[in-house]
A and B are shown apart, each in its own frame.
Chain A
Amino acid sequence: MVPDKTNPIWRKIVSYSDDYIFTTLATKLMMMRVKMIVENENTNKEENILQGIDIAYEYFKKNQSILIEDVDYLFKDKDGV
């Protein structure tokens, strides 16, 4: 199960996305978008992270039943499942 948006794991995922290995093409592309937002130096860092969390959370929440490998990898035994 995808954890609540307030779970600290989201901040870790969006801030250090290069440290993760994603399985599905859609997740890889979506996380690249998140990375570009988070690393944008022209806007507020904290706002960027929160925006990244919103995008990633909505994506995983909506698709959790079909992103089993990515969801298990990211959240299993990390207060998510």
Chain B
Amino acid sequence: MKSLCTLKEACELINQQKNLIIAGDEALLKQLPHGNWIGGSIPYFMTENGGVTSHDKLSVTLLTDDFEMVSIKQYSKELLKNIPDDYPENGLSFIIIPGDSASHFEYSENCSTWKGFYNSPIVGWISGIDLKDIGLKKPIVINGTTGEMEEESAIVMHLSLKSNKYCQINNINLFSQGNGDVITFPETGTEIKECFVNGEKILFSKYLHGKKISGDIPLVANYHGAFINVSFKSISSQEVFMYAPVFKGVQYKMASEVLNYEQRFVTELQKMKVKPLFTCNCILNYVFAHLEGKKIGDLVGPITFGEIAYILLNQTMVYVTVQDRK
């Protein structure tokens, strides 16, 4: 299947009762018929021709016949903690959360505290808008079964999988921890005033200005060998705003510089043994690595305002594979 569909092609797939995850401009999503799909707004995509911005095409992930849809559910900020209760016995949960919404912040700060959260794979992304429309429009998600559009609640498609198969979520992160200072934070959150640098308290913004850090490379934590980025939204004189929370008790370092994103991605992709079912990449990789028009291996999918591989990630490519049980 090609990476981007016309509205007509997407409508045909929906009318064939396929289970679909759809990304595209809000105006297109609103025109889709009711069916077994969930969607989120975003106009940026990885395609077979490279990164593109499109307001007249949709990225459609067709879930194979190995999957059976269990439910499509909306979760408000207050109900997000119930997601693990709805996990299928063997399967996958796809989540799309509106960017800058209450559910976005609740999920990013607290998801790992929910009972049973890691017991089944959950993958997805944060919906967004054209960067030119920031401040003018809001990211949305849509429940395809009802056509209901949401700016605050998350939408999840829970899918069961044939018993001889299982899903695995993985990521490709080109960043790793640099050799610099160890940075910790007194509180969990996305709006940061103070931090500790090698144990010494300092205004985080002052530290960043002093180091001439502009925010194009992220903070990186080491989660038992998985490098987890936290990207910078803005740095003012007193406060620093992040795209994902930093966590109290976790040690961060500034990332080491990445040279030649495209080649690094291709090298990492060559290590991948199984063709992914779904892939998404970060808008910050698209912007900072100038990926418009550049092909990233054979991977296609939305370029998003945040990637979810269980937890919220930044500046990372996320993918899901379906594998045979041994």
Contact = CB atoms under 8 A, between A and B. Distances in A.
B117 to A, nearest CB: 8
B326 A68 contact: yes
Contacts of B250: 32, 36
Nearest to B188: A36
Nearest to A63: B119
B112 A33 contact: yes
B224 A20 contact: yes
Given A33-B112, A36-B247, A65-B325, A26 B121 contact: yes
A28 B119 contact: no
Contact of A21 (B166, B171, B225): B225
A22 interface: yes
Contacts of A32: 112, 223-224, 226, 250
Contacts of B171: 25
B168 interface: yes
Contacts, number: 65
Main secondary structure of the interface of B (DSSP, over half): mixed
Interface centre among B121, B223, B224, B250 (most CB of A within 10 A): B224
A25 B226 contact: yes
Contacts of A33: 112-113, 117-118
B309 interface: yes
Contacts of B28: none
Interface in A32-56: 32-33, 35-36, 39-40, 55
B102 interface: no
A55 B115 CA distance: 8
A25 B169 contact: yes
A28 B313 CA distance: 14
Interface size class of B (residues with CB under 8 A): 20 to 34
B118 A29 contact: yes
Contact of A24 (B112, B168, B325, B326): B168
A31 interface: yes
Interface string A2-25: 000000000000000110111011
Interface residues of A, number: 27
A75 interface: no
B309 A25 contact: yes
Given A58-B119, A59-B118, A62-B119, A28 B226 contact: yes
A25 B166 contact: no
Nearest to A62: B119
A66 interface: yes
A26 B166 contact: no
B246 to A, nearest CB: 12
Interface of B: 112-113, 116-121, 166, 168-171, 223-226, 247, 249-250, 309-311, 323, 325-326
5 contacts: A26-B168, A26-B310, A28-B226, A33-B117, A55-B118
Given A29-B223, A36-B249, 17 more contacts: A17-B224, A22-B224, A25-B310, A26-B118, A26-B121, A26-B168, A26-B310, A30-B112, A30-B118, A31-B224, A32-B224, A32-B226, A33-B113, A35-B224, A58-B119, A65-B325, A66-B166
Interface of A: 17-18, 20-22, 24-33, 35-36, 39-40, 55, 58-59, 62-63, 65-66, 68
